[in-house]
Amino acid sequence: MLQLTDIKKSYTTGDFTQVALNGVSVNFRENEFVAILGQSGSGKTTLLNIIGGLDQYDSGDLVINGKSTKDFKDGEWDAYRNNSVGFVFQSYNLITHLSILDNVEMGMTLSGVSSSEKKQRATQVLERVGLKDHLHKKPNQLSGGQMQRVAIARALANDPDIILADEPTGALDSETSEQIMDLIKEIADDKLVIMVTHNPELAEQYADRIVNFKDGHIVKDSNPYVETTTNSNYELKRTSMNYFTALKLSGKNIATKKWRTGLTAFAASIGIIGIALILSLSSGFQKQIDEFQSDALSEFPITVSRQAVSMDEESLKEMQSQGPMAKKEFVKSDKVYLYNPADSNVTHTNNITQEYVDYLQEIDPELVRSIGFTRMVGMNLLRKTDDEVTPVSINIGISGVGGAGAGGISSMSGVGLSSYPVSIDGKGSSYLKKNYDVLAGNYPKDETEMVLVVDNQNRIDVETMKNLGFDTEDIESLKFTDIVGTELQLVANNDFYDKSELGNFMPTQDLEKAYTASANTKLKIAAVVRQKEDVQVAILANGVAYSDALVDLVLEKEKDSEIVKAQRDSDTNVMTMEPFKADEKETFVAYLGGDSTPMMIYIYPVDFASKDKIIDYLDAFNKGKETKDTIVYSDLASSMTEMTGGIMDAITMVLIAFASISLVVSLIMVGIITYISVLERTKEIGVLRALGARKKDITRVFNAETLIIGAFSGFLGILIAYLLTIPTNIILENMTGLANIAQLQPLHAISLVIISVVLTLIGGSIPARMAAKKDPVEALRSE
């Protein structure tokens, strides 16, 4: 069944060529016990290695079951070793970090036998060699004879046709030797056993056939055989180690050197710790900056007012040529120069049209937090207290956010009316919910519900309360709940103004009737609200605040009311009958609700980046228009943009670059550790190859090892970094008063673990490849 014809093999080291086999031709029977005797160095081991497919012959042929191995590829040799051959070595060559059972199962593991069958077969052969009670021991817990029994069990486990034993009793005492020989003899009953020995007595006593070897060839054969059967239906089952086996193998190996692996992983994790900390700090600072930005933008929105300072290049140049910064040099003269700033076109009158308002409504909602419009709209409000109807006086409403920032206009409103912006998506109260806490009542559900804004001391202007009709003498006992639910009637101009016989309009005398007019809108104070503690700047003035949508409602209602129509057509005030001065008429029509174009527009960007985009959007409106039709905005926050621009990013990049150096160091370290591991596990590599592992499988084993180290050091690094953020935050809070700056983002944590794994895999890949290239014979020979 096994046929060697003129096998030659020589080794070349440097200039010297050593002939190990010099034309060996021999046939073996399907089951016989062949002993090969010969001096040391005569080529016996070389012959066994070639028969076992561990080493390749230079010339001749090795025919197994009628199939020539001349054209065998690597994979076929691997499969051949796994399926057809079982090795027994003098030095046992067990994998020390695996249990006896795992050692015996390894050959079957490589050929993909299911785990239950593997276990059953392994237990069976271990029972056969007399080790039933030692299944879960490690090799170093056994005696030499027992270890050799394990090796024999391992050789038998995959049920091969050929058992190759290289001086199996060489390291054993004579009594144990005989027991082992008995076992081998028994095996030879149904297998071909080829055993190398230097002990002629043992050979004589046990073997069926003795082959004497000298200088690389056979000098005597006690029972030669001439091959008669040829059967080329010889099939080999391919081997492969799955990833899980590789992980298990390396995991068990690592488990035997916990301290070293732990320390390596710790050292390797330092780079990860550094980067994780830097990232968590920088994202914390970035968050602070973002908060600062949005606060700054709340205070300094982009504003568009009727009168603006033009900031275009031409005007700026002009301003410089006239203003105090006109020229850097100081004039040497005793003369006074006169100039009139009004002559310049630095001031620009914005003609805010409905078209512009519509254009603004089209801004990408992602960019703006809100847009406020200031309109001067009067509201005719009446309140009924103790059966008496009183006007809620000085009812000029400042629509939009103007209440807070519109200076002079705001003071016209005795009630301190201000409105909150309807966010661009139309949900009015989302602005309130974000910036204001409800102290009593509920957030408004629609535009007819208003709120009373108090300051952080819960104070409210006494005039406001008086105007709302509350008894301010007895204010001590006024509770929020007394205010919530207060109802006001918003009376339409047509019901509120009567036309007198003189032809002018006067507020009606019959307030009772106006209070119950059918066209009224019932308004309600739905809540008392206060700026949230963590909101730095809120836009509503203390007093009554209502939604922009209410203003729209009034405008819609009043634009064609009698008084508005009359006033539009007349150049005298239809109430006082006095002629208007300058642009008083426009203001009055607007007050009556006859003009919906805003006086002032406030745009609140989400952040600085959005602000830049909004400005681009605003500039786009002016493109191609004549100067007088352009709309000039002012951007008070612009000077702050540069402050934050990229500095944080730059610092983060520099720090990460430093931390990356430690990552590279750990990469190299993992490479070295893997290399040491390869050296340490050389014998294991040889054993695995002898059992049929492919080169690929060996790479897999070492990649699994680096994968474990990489993942472990990644997780360890993240854990340590996370723990370090706690003291870091305490220190930073003491230093800066800012809480929880360092925050490790989950995304960063996951990425860093992945980076750690990838880098260690790279670091370990070269040693892993070196391991795979190792010659199995040399690997087995190593100590």
Contacts with ligand ADP by CB under 6 A lie at: 11, 13, 18, 20, 38, 40-46
Residues that bind Mg ion (CB under 5 A): 45
Q: Which of 176, 216, 165, 197 is nearest to 51 (CA)?
A: 165
- Nearest to ligand ADP of 40, 231 (CB atom): 40
Write phi, then psi, for 397 (nearest 5 degrees).
Answer: -90, 140
- Nearest to ligand ADP of 38, 764 (CB atom): 38
Residue 18 contacts which entry, ligand ADP, Mg ion, none (Cβ below 5-8 A, type-dependent): ligand ADP
Q: Which of 543, 271, 554, 607 is nearest to 415 (CA)?
A: 543
Q: How far is CA 696 from CA 260, 702, 767, in A?
A: 26, 10, 13
CB of 45 to Mg ion, least distance (A): 3
Write phi, then psi, for 191 (nearest 5 degrees).
Answer: -145, 165
CB of 28 to ligand ADP, least distance (A): 18
Give, to the nearest 10 degrees, the angle between helix 647-680 and helix 695-736.
Answer: 140
CB of 174 to ligand ADP, least distance (A): 21
SS3 357: helix
Residue 734 contacts which entry, Mg ion, ligand ADP, none (Cβ below 5-8 A, type-dependent): none
- Nearest to ligand ADP of 46, 370 (CB atom): 46
Which letter does DSSP use for residue 362 in this model? T
H or E element that contains 154: helix 144-157
- Nearest to ligand ADP of 39, 347 (CB atom): 39
Tell me the C-alpha distance between 93 and 396, whole Å.
99
Q: Residue 781, exposed/middle/buried by CB under 10 A (0-12, 13-18, 19+)? A: middle
CB of 710 to ligand ADP, least distance (A): 35
Residue 11 contacts which entry, ligand ADP, Mg ion, none (Cβ below 5-8 A, type-dependent): ligand ADP
Question: At which residue do the structure tokens 């095996």 appear?
Answer: 187
- Nearest to ligand ADP of 198, 287 (CB atom): 198
- Nearest to Mg ion of 45, 303 (CB atom): 45
* Helices of type H across 17-160: 44-51, 74-84, 100-110, 115-128, 144-157
Tell me the C-alpha distance between 162 and 728, whole Å.
67
What's at 779, amino acid-wise?
A: A
Tell me the C-alpha distance between 503 and 567, whole Å.
12
- Nearest to ligand ADP of 122, 687 (CB atom): 687
- Nearest to ligand ADP of 13, 457 (CB atom): 13
CB of 9 to ligand ADP, least distance (A): 8
Residue 52 contacts which entry, ligand ADP, Mg ion, none (Cβ below 5-8 A, type-dependent): none
Between strands 59-64 and 2-13, the pairing is antiparallel
Which letter does DSSP use for residue 540 in this model? P
- Nearest to Mg ion of 88, 768 (CB atom): 88
CB of 7 to ligand ADP, least distance (A): 12
Residue 280 contacts which entry, Mg ion, ligand ADP, none (Cβ below 5-8 A, type-dependent): none
Q: Tell me the sheet residues that pair with 595.
A: none
- Nearest to ligand ADP of 88, 757 (CB atom): 88
CB of 44 to Mg ion, least distance (A): 5
The answer to whether 545 and 418 are in contact (CB under 8 A) is yes
Residue 20 contacts which entry, Mg ion, ligand ADP, none (Cβ below 5-8 A, type-dependent): ligand ADP
Residue 413 contacts which entry, Mg ion, ligand ADP, none (Cβ below 5-8 A, type-dependent): none
Residue 43 contacts which entry, Mg ion, ligand ADP, none (Cβ below 5-8 A, type-dependent): ligand ADP
Helix/strand number for the chain, H first, E second? 28, 27
- Nearest to ligand ADP of 18, 56 (CB atom): 18
Q: Tell me the sheet residues that pair with 529.
A: 438, 453
CB of 12 to ligand ADP, least distance (A): 8
What burial letters (b/e) apply to 574-603, b meaning 16+ CB within 10 Å? bbeeeebeeeebbebbbbbbbbbbbbbbbb
DSSP 186-197: HHTTSSEEEEEE
How many CB atoms within 10 Å of residue 201?
A: 9
SS3 296: helix
- Nearest to Mg ion of 523, 780 (CB atom): 780
CB of 753 to ligand ADP, least distance (A): 43
CB of 773 to ligand ADP, least distance (A): 15
Residue 686 contacts which entry, Mg ion, ligand ADP, none (Cβ below 5-8 A, type-dependent): none
CB of 723 to ligand ADP, least distance (A): 53
Handedness of CA 465, 471, 473, 475 (dihedral sign): negative
CB of 85 to ligand ADP, least distance (A): 17
Residue 93 contacts which entry, Mg ion, ligand ADP, none (Cβ below 5-8 A, type-dependent): none
